């Protein structure tokens, strides 16, 4: 029993004793008796409410609420966090193309660009990215080739994986996996440089 309940009980008993003593000393006065009876009635009603209060307020029960749907909190509930297999947005991670030659570079050095890409909305939901052909027809390609994917962001179709680390460009799942065409496109500064300053690189 807590100290607050003990103190409240003692105070109520003292008030009841004082009312009873006041009644004994003034039992010959009718007006005083009526006042004391009314006071005792109010006090007893208050005591009954005080005794019932812990049960009404449920002070011993934590006021936590379960989610609306306990089987599914949100779209990320029971999500298998696998960077290679992410629900319906399967990334088809491939380390290298069949004819790639990395040489001195660390594998993978020529990863495949993704055809189906996704994006994460500000609220955290993932959506499939559908490009508008009329809007993107003037965009440059991501790898500098004629028939490559078009986007204003060069790494829009690149894979992101820890196997590609270390890399010049990082991403949320590790490092950006570039391919040979993209590296040549960057080395030529977007085809603005026709001669190699350092042919050996």
Condensed to tens digits (0 to 9), the pLDDT of residues 105-130 reads 777 888 888 888 777 778 877 777 77
**Integer Cα distance of 148 and 21 in angstroms:** 100
Does residue 86 sit in the same domain as residue 38? no
Work out the average pLDDT over 141-151. 83
Q: What is the C-alpha radius of gyration for the chain, rounded to an integer number of angstroms?
A: 39
- pLDDT for the residue 62: 65
Does residue 103 sit in the same domain as residue 166? yes
Q: What is the mean pLDDT of the chain?
A: 71
User: Whole-structure pTM over 0.85, yes or no?
Assistant: no
Does residue 88 sit in the same domain as residue 159? yes
Does residue 122 sit in the same domain as residue 189? yes
Instruction: Check if the beta carbon of residue 157 is closer than 8 Å to that of residue 117.
Output: yes
Q: Is residue 84 part of a domain?
A: yes
| pLDDT tens per residue, range 78-113 | 666 554 444 344 445 555 555 667 777 777 888 888
Q: Is residue 34 part of a domain?
A: yes
- pLDDT for the residue 89: 40
Quickly count: other Cβ atoms within 10 Å of residue 111's Cβ: 25
- pLDDT for the residue 137: 79
**Integer Cα distance of 93 and 195 in angstroms:** 34
Q: Provide the domain limits for residue 97.
A: 74-201
Q: Is residue 65 part of a domain?
A: no
Picking from 28, 57, 86, the residue at the C-terminal end of a domain is 57
DSSP states of 101-161: --TTSPSP-SPPPPSS-EEE-TTS-EEE----HHHHTTSPBSSS-TTSPB-SSTTTT-EEE
Work out the average pLDDT over 64-87. 59
């Amino acid at each position: 029993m807590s100290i607050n309940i003990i103190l409240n009980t003692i105070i109520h008993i003292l008030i009841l004793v004082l009312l009873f003593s006041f009644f004994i000393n003034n039992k010959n006065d009718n007006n005083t008796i009526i006042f004391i009876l009314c006071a005792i009635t109010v006090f007893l009603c208050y005591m009954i409410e005080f005794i019932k209060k812990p049960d009404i307020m449920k002070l011993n029960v934590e006021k936590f609420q379960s989610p609306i749907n306990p089987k599914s909190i949100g779209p990320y509930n029971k999500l298998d966090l696998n960077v290679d297999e992410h629900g319906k947005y399967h990334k088809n991670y491939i380390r290298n193309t069949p004819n790639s030659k990395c040489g001195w570079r660390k594998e993978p050095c020529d990863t495949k660009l993704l055809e189906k890409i996704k994006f994460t909305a500000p609220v955290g939901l993932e959506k499939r990215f559908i490009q508008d052909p009329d809007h993107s027809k003037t965009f440059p390609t991501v790898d500098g080739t004629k028939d490559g994917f078009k986007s204003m962001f060069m790494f829009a179709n690149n894979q992101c994986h820890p196997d590609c680390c270390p890399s010049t460009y990082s991403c949320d799942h590790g490092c950006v996996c570039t391919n040979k065409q993209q590296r040549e496109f960057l080395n030529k500064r977007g085809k603005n440089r026709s001669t190699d300053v350092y042919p050996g690189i």
